[in-house]
Amino acid sequence: MGNRSLLSRRMFTIGGTSLIGLTLAGCATGKTKTETISSGPTPKELAAMYGPMPNERFPIPAVHLKQIEPRFYRQRVPFETDEKVGTVIVNTKTFFAHLVQENGMAIRYGVGVGREGFEWSGTAIVGRKTQWPKWTPPASMIKRQPELEEFSAANGGMPPGIDNPLGARALYLYKNGRDTLYRLHGTIEAYSIGKAVSSGCIRFLNQDIIDLYRRVPVGTKVIVI
C-alpha cells in the first residue's frame, strides 16, 4: 500500500495577491477588529496562484479548487491589528492565517488546524525553515500509532516528497529556544483546508506555504489564537 493511503487513513499531521509536543503559553493575540471579505481573486489570478508547479524538486499538481471554499483562497485583505508588519497570526476558529502587511492590510491564507483534543494556542517564532522537509513523528504519536515506528528518528524519518505530511515547505516553531514540535507546513490535501483535521499543526496548500515561505524570515513572530 502506498504512503498516501497510509497517511490518509491515519489522519495526522505533525504538524501576495488575493492567508503549530509542548503547549505554548502566554498567547499574545494582538487586536484584530476587521476581516473584510473581498471580491476574491479572478480566474486568471487563481490559475497563477494554484496551478501546477512542475519545476519544484517534486512537481506539485494544480490545486483541486472545487474542494475548497472560495473564501479560503489566498488574497490581500484589510486587517486591523496592533502587531507589527511581518507577524503571522493564525486564527484556529476562522481557519485563516494572516501575514500582516503595511497600511492596515494583510495577506490571508486558508488553513487546516488541529482536530478536537489536539488544539493549542500561543506565541512562538520561526526557528528554522526547510524546503521539502523530512517528517519524523514525535514519540507521543508513535505511542498512539505504533505503525509509525518505521518513520521514527532512529529510522531516518520519512523522506521528502509530494506525499510527505509536511509538504513542500515547513516553518518550525520555537519557544524560548526550544522546538515546540509544531509547524506551519504544506499539504496536497486541499479538502482539509478550512477544517480541523490535523494533530495540532497548521497546514497550508503547498502553493500557499511556498508563498509564505518566501515572505517570512527565521525569527518571524507567529501567534496562534
Active site residues: 185, 201
- Evaluate the CA torsion angle 225, 216, 101, 221 in order and state its sign: positive
Closest to 195 in 3D by CA, of 117, 108, 93, 98:
93
Read off the C-alpha cell for 79. Answer: 486587517
DSSP H or E run through 214: helix 206-215
- Evaluate the CA torsion angle 194, 33, 171, 141 in order and state its sign: negative
Q: How far apart are CA 158 and CA 165, in angstroms?
A: 9
Residues ≥6 apart with Cβ < 8 Å to 154: none
| Helix segments in 89-167, DSSP class H | 139-144
Name the 3-class secondary structure at 170.
Answer: strand
